[in-house]
Amino acid sequence: MNTNNNENILKQIRPSRIVLPIIIGFVVVLYMILKEVNIETFSVLKITGYVFLWLFISLLMMVIRDVGYMIRLRILSENKLSWKSIFNIIMLWEFTSAVTPSAIGGTSVAVYFIHKEGINVGKSTAIVMATSILDELYFIIMFPVLFIFISPAQIFQVGSQIGTLDFTNKYFYFAVFGYSLKFIFTVLLSYGLFVKPTVIKTLLINIFKFRYLKKWLQAAEKTGNDIVSASQELKKQGFKFWFKAFLATFFSWTARYWVINFLLLALIAGSTYNTNDYISGTSSHFLIFARQLVMWIMMLIMPTPGGSGFAEAIFSEYMAEFIPLGFAALMALMWRLVTYYPYLLIGAFILPKWLKKILKAKI
C-alpha cells in the first residue's frame, strides 16, 4: 500500500468524523422526542430489577455479536491473527462503518486494518471479501426464510393497516431495492472470486477506460488484481472452513437482531403497561426480529453516515406497534445507544493508539 492510499484511508477513519453521525442522530431523535413526549408520559416509568436484567441481556447480545465476528476473523485468517489484533480490527472496522454511509460501510478500509496487523495484502483482501460474502449470504438466506413463518403483510404493514400487502407500501420497496443490491453484489463477487476472477478484472478495467472514469482506472486495476489474488486464497478452502465461518456469521447477526426484543422488555418492565399488550408470545418476538432484519436491509440505501437520521426515524415508525405510546423516540435512542454509538466511542479511543503503533512498525 503506497503513501497516498494510506493518507486517503486515514482521512476516512479520523476520530473527528464521529461528530457528524452523532449530531444527525441526536437531532432527529430530539425532534421526535419533543414531538411525541410530555411529562405525563414519564409518570408511568419505574426502575425495577427486571429493567436492569433486560438491559444487561441486550448489551450481552452485542457482546455475543462481536465475539462471533472475532471468531469468524480468527477462522478466516487461519489463526494467524492474535485475539488482541482481531479485537482492534473489529472495533476499527465497526467505527469506520459508523462514520461512513451505510452503502459504503467499513469494508473499503478493512483491508488496511488487517494488512497492518501483519497479513499480506492478498490475504487481507481475501479475508475482507470473504466476510462480505458471508454477511450478504446471511441476509440473502434469511430474508426469504422470514416469509415461511410470517406473511409479507405482517412484516411490511404497520399501524392500522390490515389485510393483504399494498404494493404502494414504502417499506416493501425500500426492502426489495436493498435486497436486490445485496443479491446482485453477492452474485457478482462470488462469480469473480470462485469462478472467473480475470473476467471481473477485465470488466472493471474496460469500464474505467471511459473518458470520464479514466482518473479511477489505476484504482480499478488494483481492485481487479486484488480480486484475482483473493480468488487464489479462497479457492484453497474446503467445506468445513466455510461452514464454521458461516456459523459464526449466523450467530453474530442473529444476536444483534435480538437486541431490540430485550430493550422492549426492559422498557415494558419499567412501566405500568402490560407486556401482553405489546409482545404476546413467541410470534411477536419473531416478528420483531424479522422487522429488524428488514430495517437493516433498508438502511443499505441511505447516504448518511451509519444510516444516521434515517435509522432513528424509521425505527420509531416501523416498530411503533410494539412500543408503549409516547416512547417510540426514546426506544429509538436506546437502540442506537446500544448498537451504534459505542462503536463510535470505542473506535475513537482505540484508533489513535493503533495508528501510533502501526506508524512505528515497518510492515
* Structural domain that includes position 240: 3-360
305 - beta bridge partners?
101
* Predicted pLDDT at 63: 94
Cβ atoms within 10 Å, residue 178: 23
pTM value is 0.77
Q: What is the pLDDT along the chain (363 residues), one digit of tens a residue?
A: 444 555 555 555 555 555 666 666 666 656 655 665 555 556 666 777 888 899 999 999 999 999 999 999 999 999 999 999 999 999 988 887 777 655 444 566 788 888 888 888 778 878 888 898 899 899 899 988 888 888 877 777 655 454 455 555 677 777 888 888 888 888 888 887 888 888 877 877 887 787 766 776 777 787 777 778 778 778 888 889 999 999 999 999 999 888 888 888 888 776 666 555 556 656 778 888 888 888 877 776 665 555 555 666 677 677 777 777 667 777 777 887 888 878 878 887 887 788 777 766 654
Looking at the 3D structure of the chain, how many domains does it have? 1
What is residue 324's DSSP assignment? -
CA–CA distance, 68 with 245 (Å, rounded to integer): 9
Q: CB within 8 A of 324, min separation 6: which ones?
A: 44, 267, 268, 271, 273, 278
Q: How far is CA 260 from the centre of its chain?
A: 15
CA–CA distance, 329 with 320 (Å, rounded to integer): 9
Query: Maximum Cα–Cα distance for the chain, whole Å?
Result: 65
Q: CB within 8 A of 270, min separation 6: which ones?
A: 45, 46, 47, 48, 50, 51
**Residue showing cell 487461519:** 78
CA–CA distance, 259 with 337 (Å, rounded to integer): 11
* Predicted pLDDT at 242: 93
**Residue showing cell 453477492:** 186
